[in-house]
Structure formats: structure tokens, C-alpha cells
Chains A and B, each alone.
Chain A
């Protein structure tokens, strides 16, 4: 019997965006096809073998709250876990897992293969089938046609990919994989604005040839952190250490001498690289006063000797790479397994997308991941999730959904992309989120699970787990709110002893917990406030919510204020040219970006408050005319 060729949703690409997109769509009952050029590289970590980190773990936990796979995979593949910013407050804490590449990939592949409603197929995609302004399917490299009204492209670095090592370069999607040249040509024929970006990766080292005895050890955290809300430490494989070494002046000298063979410094590479993840040659040149840069030596897995030297991504020639690597402490005798390289690829201006990541020109066509100018597995996965959810929604005739900036880092990510666009690979940072204190990794489930459950992408089991946690948090908060302590009572004596001074009026448990000098554990260690069995995550949540209460209340006001403009919608075909007084530049920007709301318009760079008041005037005027 012939295989079916018609689906609700087709996902092109099996990386981090593609897998979350396909899984979300299938979880929501859409008949989904994931098509990849190579099933063996599903869930591949092409660069740094780590999940999470500052800003990124927030995305991972939000994906998790929406039923996604990334956090679970990290829990089953993580060989070292750390909580970054542990010494700072909960809003900026971030979990990071060093992952075993193979374990990670296996977990993802297992999940994909066992997901109901999801089919996998191995073939490169060369072309799209487009009917008028509606996508209708894809054509593979041997001419097979698959049909769907919703197609999600997650092409990563494969579109027009070109690898540079020194002045040598060749077309590739990743070291060892072919690029998608025909698809790139086909997409370039569509009216999207396209440009080139660049990213890099360091040479990989054989761990047996590194002299660790001279190096600083960096162990994981104890107790072991967990990434997924449904995960636990028993899922973690064996844990290992990372090590830290540094470049030195000799290293920097070798790099400076080798710049004449640098594709970046000789102008061979046109694409723009990320400022926050510069190559080692960039660091040496731009911060010439620094005599040393730190390098993290991260094991790539439990069953391999391969080591990822984090901090020396480079596109210098192999000879220069060899020399500078050998000048680094502990690496004097090391063997390079794979040369470092830079890769240039096509990306499309994300301002041509709507908040669901659907393109504005072709209905049913979605872009997610590096194709939109982002970098990072987590950023890609977050976009994949949103594209997958919305493709499934549209396929089922349901209402679309995208979180707002005040609801999730995912909302910040997408709003930044579609409103401001990007000229360098976009990475998430906590400072991008204006409502950072409300958007924490610890409360991602509280923020999103309910929505995920309503949409049908959160399983019943996950929902039950979440619902009981939420109830426990409410109960414990209520309990502390109802417990009043009176001055002069024996209970107050015990409290006074702890505080070092006497209370003079009555307080309830939450009042006390709000004080910086009292932690939850200290509070419940008082006999009067002694708690029944409360799970650690529940206790932590009660404590964080109470400690931040004042600031959160302030942010809620700010959010409510912003909501007014958020609710003022701009018609899709609003004629900005009809507004006299708008500068040509602003008119052009608004016409190109077509903001959906006045709030989005106000976030476009260069759009002045005066332009917004003009816009409001004309919106009001056109409303009055139509009434």
C-alpha cells in the first residue's frame, strides 16, 4: 500500500525547532509529518553540548510547561548540572545542563518515533508547493510531493550554508552534512527579505591528550538541579566534571599573526556574527588589553573522549588553530579531532512574520529557528513550539495563540523578532525581559501550563501533577496568611528570639515572610508556624511569591498600563501613507512591519511618541468614519 502523502502539518527539519514543532502539532492531534534529510541527526546538538543557561533556561522551562520535550531530554542526557546566578535572586537564576550528545539525540529520536499522529520521513526538501498565496506542500529532492496546508520550515544553518576554515570554504549545512541549496534558491525567489548571518564553533579535542592535572576543576552543583517540572534526579546519567583553562599572551600572539588567513578579517565572510559569542580572534583583537581569556573544557559525552573547548570558537586556518590550541595550558600535547569553523547561512527578516511565526506573504508557511536570525537550541525550540501549536490550531480551525511579553520569555523572543528584526544572531538574555521579576524559571509552569492544557499540548498526567502543585501552593499561602502571631504570647517570644528584637503588633505568616531577614525554612522552624508536609518546590514558590510581592504588584500595574495600547489593534491593511505628518522613514517602517497593535508599533525602533499620537488620531478618525 502506498504511504499517505497528505498531512495537516508538515515540518521541514529535525533540529531543535523542528522536533518541538512536530511534537507540539502531533500532541494537538494534527496529522503531522516531520521530514529531514537525515533521521540519524534528529535532535543533533551542532555546537555546544549544553541546554539552558541565563535567559535560555527560562525558555526551556516554558517549553516544558507547554508539554515540550527539551527539558526532559536535558534531564535524561545531562552529565553536569549547575544553577547559574545561584547567589542572586530567583528571578535571574538559570539552570544549565551539560549534555551527552548521544543520550540527548537518542531521547529526542525515541520521543519522535513514539509520538502518536507523527510520521517521520528522510529526504531533503528542494521546493515548496504554493497555490496563490497559500502553501500547499513540499517537493523532495527525488521529486516526491507531500501535501499540507501548514508547512513549518526549520532549516537551521542549512539554507545556502557555507563553511569557512581559514581561506578555504565549501558549501555545507553543518560539518559532515550537505546544505539546502535548491530550497534556498526557491525561497529567495519569494518576496522575503533575506540576508546572511555567521556563527562559529571551536575545534574539538581528544580528552585523553589533555593534561587535566594542571587545570582547575569545575564540578556540578549539589544537590543536583532538575530541568523539567516533571523530571527528577533519578533520570540523570552519571555526572562528570568540567575544567577551566585560559589563553595566554603567546596564544594571542599566534592568533594575531594568523589573521591574514582569517576569512573574517580578510572580508571573505559577509555574514554578521553574534557580539556576545565572538570568535577567539575577535576577542583578542577587540579587547587587546586583555592578556587572557577563560576556556571551559566540556566533555561531549560519557562514551566519548571528545571535548568541547568553550570559548575558542574560530575560523582561522587549521594550522593557526593547531598552533594556538597547543599554546594553551593543559593542551600542549593535545590532539584536535575536528577543526573549528565558521558557517554562513541565509536567514529571513523576521519582521516579515506574524506573532504565530506565519509568514505575511504566504499563508500556512511558518519559519522557526535560525532561519529567523536567532541562535541557540532553546531559542529555536521555543519558536518551533509556537509554530507547531499555531499550525495545529489553524489546521483544526481553532484560535491562534502567542504569549505576550508579560507572560513568557517566548513572548519577548517573538515580539522582539517580529517587531525589531535582528542584524546579528539573536540570543535571549534576562535583560531583554522588562518583566523579569515576574517571568522566572521557577514559575514557568504557573504562567503557562493552564494555557497549554487548554490548547491540548499538555498531557493529562502533566496537568494533574501541575494542578496538585498549584493547589498545594495556594493552601500553604492561605495557611500562613491565616496564622496571626500576637505580641506577648509564647509564640511571639520564640519569634523575638529569632528576630533579635520584639514585635509590637500582630503579624501573620506572610507579613513575616516578606521581611528579608526571615526565610521560609526559618519561619516554619517556629513551632507556631510549623508546616505539615510541604514539597520543596511548593515551599520555594510560596517564599518567592511573598518576597517579590511588592515588586510584582508594581509590575502588574505597569503591565495593565501597557495593555491599553496592546488592545488597540491596527487593521492589517491600514494605509500609513494617508497619515500626513508621519516621516517617510516611519511610514516605511510601519508599512513594512505592519504592527498588529499600537503597542507593537511603539516598540519599533525609530517610531516616536509623536508618530504614535498621530497614529492614534488617525485610527480614531478611521473608526469614526466607518461607524
Chain B
């Protein structure tokens, strides 16, 4: 909560992505904006109107020509005075403009997300929206951008709010049963409470699925390719990345360090990690590489355990993998080089394992593998991905679901209505962390408006 670095000075940053673009925007926010505007474009432009201007540095040399827009407070994105300079894109121009502003001692470069933070601190946006903006900025794909835009308009908030409304209604019944036992108001029957709880749970699960999809889209997953030397790990990396990222040779131990590549698999960002082959070795460099490979395994969401289909009889590294992998980590066994065997490309689901037969060389089974990866990380193509949720939201939803499930089990113990009430309170509390507070007085207000109490 505490951001001691925020001094509420005037901050400036390039608002458009790095690199060469048609238009680049430099945005400045804070109490010294009018002063900066005067020095850079000669005079303060009219509020909220795009004005053609010449941008000059402190020595009155022209940097560029473009549009300038002035947003006086509080009607700006941050709630402070904001000035936007729309210049020709390109790193040099952007840097010159930045420098011209930073020459003023009252101005400093904004840190990441600081504009959003200002907006949040000035009540221009709520936490959800602030995060959605952050998501919008670094969205990895078009889909993610679309979802972030929707979330910004409050789709996610809306969904969560209807859910909270249902919780409140239920709490109203439970709390009035506790606080007004002597009143002849119709208390909801246990069966009905149970029914309502089940409906809420169902709804929760749906939101959770959607939110998890959103999370996948935003954060993606990390995928480690692991195996003995020369089973084709780097070839698989290149095949999945659809470019030659890794050096591939027939010599075992070509990859000695961890190699990383980001790819998109149906819009899901996947962080591919190729590792050194696991083997017994005295080579210190190789040993270090292997050590790093196991470190990557510990942090991975998904592990592709690659094997040479021609040498499946050997025990390999299965035992070591079992030791290093953690509960909940997903593992796909990939048998490569099936072109050298009589195996066919297919997915084999067994009790605790899933295996796919492929040959990277002939590109057979790769689509099977991709589909399997998507399935394994829980990407559901039919689920709607309207909500780009933060891990925090998913966490809150999961916790709320747990409380409600526990509350349901408390219902069996008829004496424990206060425990059900506690679980519902906790569920609502974690939900409120997403959208805002709800007090006990609000709850009493609901009760009084609905029931005639007061004997």
C-alpha cells in the first residue's frame, strides 16, 4: 500500500511503445505542466483541443512539429494537469522531447505504471481499472488487448458485483435469523439456503473458469523441455517457435545453458525453456547447465519430458524428474524420433501419465502436442475469455469458493448457522477486496428494508 517513492512531483514518460512508429506520444502530468507547456510550445493550448505546435528545447531549437493536447485537472486521466505531445515516432525524437522536459528540476521520469497509480490515488479509476490499464499496456496479443479493454469498461466488475449481490441476499437471510430470532419473519428454510449456495457455487465456478482463461492470456505459462542429451529438445524448441532459436547438432550436449523463447500458442503466451541434457558428467560446464535445468523444472508450470523413442527401454531420468517436480506440476512425456521406430503419432492417456509420440524431424505429431499443451494448462477454447483477470482476482475467487464450500458443509450441522454466517462473511470479504467494501451497517440496512423487525 505504501509507496514512499510517490512524492507527487510532475512526471513524464513516453506513452507509446518503444521502437519506431508513425506517431509517438510523450505524456506529462502534475502541477508544473502549464509551466512546461509554455516553455516547450510557447503558450498553453486550449483545453482538450488538438493544436498544431512546434516543440522546442530549452535553447529554443526546434525538435519536431506535431499536435499538443492539454487536459486541465481534474478532467484528465490522472486527475492532475496533463499535457500530451504527439510527435513523429522514433526513439531519437522521443528522447529529445523527454530530455527537454527533464531539464526542469521539478520534473522527473515516471516509473512504470505511475500514471495509473496517480489516476488511482486521485479516484479517477478503481483498482480493477488501474490493473486493467496495466494489462492493456503490456498485453501480449490482440485477444488480450480486447479482453483488457472490456475489463476496463467494468465487465469483470459487473460480473463480480452480481455475484456479491447474491451473497448479500443470502447473508441477509442468515444474519436476520441470528439477530432477530424472536421475530415472526419468514426465515428461509435450510433446503433453500442450500439451493441458493449451490447456485452461487455454480456461478463462481463459471467466473473462475473465465478468470483463469484471462489469467492464462495475460501471464501465459512457462514450459520447460527436459530430457537426456540428444533426444531433440532444441529441435522441438525451434519447431514450436517456428524459427531457429537454438543451435541444433547431432552432438549430445550442444545446449549447455538454459535457452528461452516466448511464443504464442493460440494467443496464449508461452515461455519456452530449453535446457541442457540431463546426464552423468564430469564436465563442470555441463554440470552447471544441468543444475540450472533442474532449477527451471522447479519453477515451471508444465514440463515436457522428452525421450528418444528408439531407447524407451532404459530407465532414463524418470526417477530424478519425480524427485525434482512438485505436486500440481503437469508433465507430458514426449517420445521423439518415432520415424525411426514403428510407433505412430498419437496421444496415449494412462492412469497417471500422458504421453505423445512425435517426430520433430518430419513434423509429425506436433499439432497433437500443441493441442495437448493447451489442454493440459487448462485452456478451454469454448470458454469465453471476456475477463482478463489478475492472479489476485483468481486467488480471491478461489478462496471465496472454498469458504462457500465449507459453509455448505456446515449446513449439515444445523447448530452451526453462525459458522455458515462466518464463511459467508469471509467469502464476501475476499470478494470485496476486488471491488470495494461492504459494511455490517449496509447489511443491517438490507435486513431492515426487507423485513419487519421490532417486537
- Contact residue among A294, A434, A581 (Cβ-Cβ distance under 8 Å from B121): A581
Contact with A along B1-40 (1 / 0, CB 8 A): 1111010100000000000000000000000000000000
Set of chain B residues within 8 Å of A275, measured between Cβ atoms: 445, 448, 454
Query: Do the beta carbons of B444 and A429 come within 8 Å of each other?
Result: yes
- Contact residue among B8, B426, B440, B453 (Cβ-Cβ distance under 8 Å from A581): B8
Query: Do the beta carbons of B418 and A89 come within 8 Å of each other?
Result: yes
Set of chain B residues within 8 Å of A84, measured between Cβ atoms: 181-182
Stretch among A161-169, A175-183, A604-612 lining the B interface? A604-612
Query: Do the beta carbons of B441 and A278 come within 8 Å of each other?
Result: no
Set of chain B residues within 8 Å of A554, measured between Cβ atoms: 426
Set of chain A residues within 8 Å of B8, measured between Cβ atoms: 580-581
Q: Name the distance in Å between B171's Cβ and chain A's nearest Cβ.
A: 9
Set of chain A residues within 8 Å of B1, measured between Cβ atoms: 609, 612-613, 616
Q: Name the distance in Å between A421's Cβ and chain B's nearest Cβ.
A: 11
- Contact residue among A295, A420, A610 (Cβ-Cβ distance under 8 Å from B122): A610
Q: How large is the interface on A (under 10, 10 to 19, 20 to 34, 35 or more residues)?
A: 35 or more
B111 on the A face (CB < 8 A): no
Contact with A along B408-423 (1 / 0, CB 8 A): 0000011111110110
Of residues 89 to 133 in B, which have CB atoms within 8 Å of A's CB atoms?
Answer: 120-123, 127
- Contact residue among A294, A429, A617 (Cβ-Cβ distance under 8 Å from B2): A617
When C-beta atoms are compared, the residue in chain A nearest to B79 turns out to be A581
Per the bound structure, the CA–CA distance linking A170 and B268 in Å amounts to: 77
Query: Do the beta carbons of B452 and A290 come within 8 Å of each other?
Result: yes
Query: Do the beta carbons of A431 and B440 come within 8 Å of each other?
Result: yes
Query: Do the beta carbons of B455 and A88 come within 8 Å of each other?
Result: no
Set of chain B residues within 8 Å of A237, measured between Cβ atoms: none
Q: With A617-B2, A620-B2 in contact, do A294 and B178 touch (Cβ < 8 Å)?
A: no
Q: Name the distance in Å between A500's Cβ and chain B's nearest Cβ.
A: 16
Set of chain B residues within 8 Å of A287, measured between Cβ atoms: 452
When C-beta atoms are compared, the residue in chain B nearest to A618 turns out to be B8
B390 on the A face (CB < 8 A): no
Q: With A88-B418, A583-B123, A610-B120 in contact, do A434 and B454 touch (Cβ < 8 Å)?
A: no
Set of chain B residues within 8 Å of A283, measured between Cβ atoms: 452, 454
Per the bound structure, the CA–CA distance linking A85 and B445 in Å amounts to: 22
A394 on the B face (CB < 8 A): no
Set of chain B residues within 8 Å of A420, measured between Cβ atoms: 441
Set of chain B residues within 8 Å of A583, measured between Cβ atoms: 123
Per the bound structure, the CA–CA distance linking A416 and B421 in Å amounts to: 21
Set of chain B residues within 8 Å of A608, measured between Cβ atoms: 123
Query: Do the beta carbons of B121 and A88 come within 8 Å of each other?
Result: no
Set of chain B residues within 8 Å of A271, measured between Cβ atoms: none
Query: Do the beta carbons of B416 and A54 come within 8 Å of each other?
Result: no
When C-beta atoms are compared, the residue in chain B nearest to A89 turns out to be B418
- Contact residue among B121, B413, B417, B455 (Cβ-Cβ distance under 8 Å from A296): B455
Per the bound structure, the CA–CA distance linking A399 and B418 in Å amounts to: 36
- Contact residue among B123, B181, B417 (Cβ-Cβ distance under 8 Å from A89): B417
Set of chain A residues within 8 Å of B413, measured between Cβ atoms: 516
Set of chain A residues within 8 Å of B183, measured between Cβ atoms: 294
A614 on the B face (CB < 8 A): yes
Per the bound structure, the CA–CA distance linking A613 and B3 in Å amounts to: 8
When C-beta atoms are compared, the residue in chain A nearest to B425 turns out to be A434
Query: Do the beta carbons of B178 and A88 come within 8 Å of each other?
Result: yes
Q: With A294-B455, A431-B444 in contact, do A551 and B178 touch (Cβ < 8 Å)?
A: no
- Contact residue among B2, B175, B439 (Cβ-Cβ distance under 8 Å from A613): B2
B179 on the A face (CB < 8 A): yes
Q: Name the distance in Å between B170's Cβ and chain A's nearest Cβ.
A: 13
Query: Do the beta carbons of A432 and B440 come within 8 Å of each other?
Result: yes
Q: With A293-B452, A610-B123 in contact, do A516 and B416 touch (Cβ < 8 Å)?
A: yes
Q: Name the distance in Å between B335's Cβ and chain A's nearest Cβ.
A: 41
Of residues 424 to 455 in B, which have CB atoms within 8 Å of A's CB atoms?
Answer: 425-426, 439-441, 443-445, 448, 452-455
Of residues 417 to 440 in A, which have CB atoms within 8 Å of B's CB atoms?
Answer: 420, 429-434, 436-437
Of residues 61 to 98 in A, which have CB atoms within 8 Å of B's CB atoms?
Answer: 84-85, 87-89, 91-92
Per the bound structure, the CA–CA distance linking A191 and B445 in Å amounts to: 31
Per the bound structure, the CA–CA distance linking A54 and B182 in Å amounts to: 10
Set of chain B residues within 8 Å of A416, measured between Cβ atoms: 441
Q: Name the distance in Å between A90's Cβ and chain B's nearest Cβ.
A: 8
Per the bound structure, the CA–CA distance linking A554 and B439 in Å amounts to: 20
When C-beta atoms are compared, the residue in chain A nearest to B31 turns out to be A580
Q: Which of B3, B127, B418, B441 has the most CB of A within 10 A?
A: B418
Set of chain B residues within 8 Å of A91, measured between Cβ atoms: 418
When C-beta atoms are compared, the residue in chain B nearest to A426 turns out to be B441
Set of chain A residues within 8 Å of B181, measured between Cβ atoms: 54, 84-85, 88
Q: Name the distance in Å between A311's Cβ and chain B's nearest Cβ.
A: 4
Query: Do the beta carbons of A620 and B4 come within 8 Å of each other?
Result: yes
Query: Do the beta carbons of A54 and B179 come within 8 Å of each other?
Result: yes
Of residues 288 to 312 in A, which have CB atoms within 8 Å of B's CB atoms?
Answer: 290, 293-296, 310-311
Q: Name the distance in Å between B29's Cβ and chain A's nearest Cβ.
A: 12
Per the bound structure, the CA–CA distance linking A434 and B120 in Å amounts to: 28
Q: Name the distance in Å between A419's Cβ and chain B's nearest Cβ.
A: 11
Q: Name the distance in Å between A4's Cβ and chain B's nearest Cβ.
A: 46
Set of chain B residues within 8 Å of A278, measured between Cβ atoms: 452, 454
Query: Do the beta carbons of A55 and B4 come within 8 Å of each other?
Result: no
Query: Do the beta carbons of B422 and A551 come within 8 Å of each other?
Result: yes
A277 on the B face (CB < 8 A): yes
Per the bound structure, the CA–CA distance linking A295 and B421 in Å amounts to: 28
Q: With A516-B416, A617-B2, A620-B4 in contact, do A54 and B422 touch (Cβ < 8 Å)?
A: no
Set of chain A residues within 8 Å of B415, measured between Cβ atoms: 87-89
Per the bound structure, the CA–CA distance linking A613 and B2 in Å amounts to: 6
A497 on the B face (CB < 8 A): no
Query: Do the beta carbons of B182 and A436 come within 8 Å of each other?
Result: no
Query: Do the beta carbons of A581 and B448 come within 8 Å of each other?
Result: no
Set of chain A residues within 8 Å of B421, measured between Cβ atoms: 92, 436
A274 on the B face (CB < 8 A): yes
Per the bound structure, the CA–CA distance linking A554 and B6 in Å amounts to: 34
Per the bound structure, the CA–CA distance linking A611 and B414 in Å amounts to: 43
A286 on the B face (CB < 8 A): yes
When C-beta atoms are compared, the residue in chain A nearest to B414 turns out to be A87
B169 on the A face (CB < 8 A): no
A110 on the B face (CB < 8 A): no
Per the bound structure, the CA–CA distance linking A89 and B2 in Å amounts to: 40
B138 on the A face (CB < 8 A): no
Query: Do the beta carbons of A89 and B416 come within 8 Å of each other?
Result: yes
Query: Do the beta carbons of B441 and A432 come within 8 Å of each other?
Result: yes
Per the bound structure, the CA–CA distance linking A416 and B6 in Å amounts to: 32
Set of chain A residues within 8 Å of B178, measured between Cβ atoms: 54, 85, 88, 92, 430-431
Q: Which of A55, A431, A432 has the most CB of B within 10 A?
A: A431
Query: Do the beta carbons of B2 and A616 come within 8 Å of each other?
Result: yes
When C-beta atoms are compared, the residue in chain B nearest to A311 turns out to be B455
Per the bound structure, the CA–CA distance linking A89 and B182 in Å amounts to: 16
A276 on the B face (CB < 8 A): yes
- Contact residue among B79, B127, B444 (Cβ-Cβ distance under 8 Å from A432): B444
Of residues 569 to 627 in A, which have CB atoms within 8 Å of B's CB atoms?
Answer: 580-581, 583, 605, 608-614, 616-617, 620-621
When C-beta atoms are compared, the residue in chain B nearest to A85 turns out to be B181
Q: Which of B120, B127, B182, B416 has the most CB of A within 10 A?
A: B182
A–B Cβ pairs within 8 angstroms, 14 of them: A54-B181, A84-B181, A92-B178, A92-B421, A294-B184, A295-B455, A416-B441, A429-B444, A431-B175, A431-B179, A433-B440, A437-B419, A610-B120, A613-B1
8 cross-chain pairs, A with B, having the tightest CB-CB distances, nearest first: A287-B452, A275-B448, A277-B454, A89-B418, A294-B184, A311-B455, A431-B175, A429-B179
**Residues of A at under 8 Å CB distance from B?**
54-55, 84-85, 87-89, 91-92, 274-278, 283, 286-287, 290, 293-296, 310-311, 416, 420, 429-434, 436-437, 516, 551, 554, 580-581, 583, 605, 608-614, 616-617, 620-621
